[in-house]
Amino acid sequence: MRSRQRSLIVALLVLATPFVAAAQEPAAPAPRSLVVTGTGEATMKPDLAIASFTVLRSAETARAALDQANAAMREVTAGMRELGAEDRDLQTSGFSIAPQYRYDNQRPDGVQTPPAIVAYEVRNTLTVRVRDIARLGEILDKAVTLGVNQGGEISFDVAEPRQARDAARKNAVADAMATATVLAEAAGVTLGPVREISEDVAVLPPMPLNRSMKMMAAEAAPSVVPVETGENTFSASVRMVYDISD
Q: What is the pLDDT of residues 161-174, one digit of tens each?
A: 999 999 999 999 99
pLDDT tens per residue across span 170-207:
999 999 999 999 999 999 999 999 999 999 875 455 54
pLDDT at position 51 is 94
Number of helices and strands in the chain (H, E)? 5, 8
- CA–CA gap between residue 44 and residue 131 (Å, rounded): 16
pLDDT tens per residue across span 79-92:
999 999 999 999 99
What is the CA 210 to chain-centroid distance, rounded? 19
The pLDDT mean for the chain works out to 83
Give φ, ψ of 219 to 5 degrees.
Answer: -70, -35
Do 209 and 155 meet the contact criterion of CB atoms below 8 Å apart?
Answer: no
Give φ, ψ of 210 to 5 degrees.
Answer: -85, 55
Residue 127's nearest CA partner among 154, 156, 160, 158 is 154
pLDDT tens per residue across span 106-157:
667 766 777 888 999 999 999 999 999 999 999 999 999 999 999 888 999 9
- Tell me the CA distances in angstroms from 77 to 24, 68, 94, 145, one per residue in order: 82, 14, 14, 12
Instruction: Say which residues have a Cβ less than 8 Å from residue 23's Cβ, sequence separation at least 6.
Output: none
- Sorted by where each starts, the structural domains of the chain and their CATH numbers stand as 33-45+161-245 (3.30.110.170), 48-157 (3.30.70.2970)
What's 203's DSSP letter? P
| Over residues 201-224, mean pLDDT | 46
CA angle 188, 194, 197 (to 5 degrees): 125
What is the CA 47 to chain-centroid distance, rounded? 17
- CA–CA gap between residue 158 and residue 133 (Å, rounded): 11
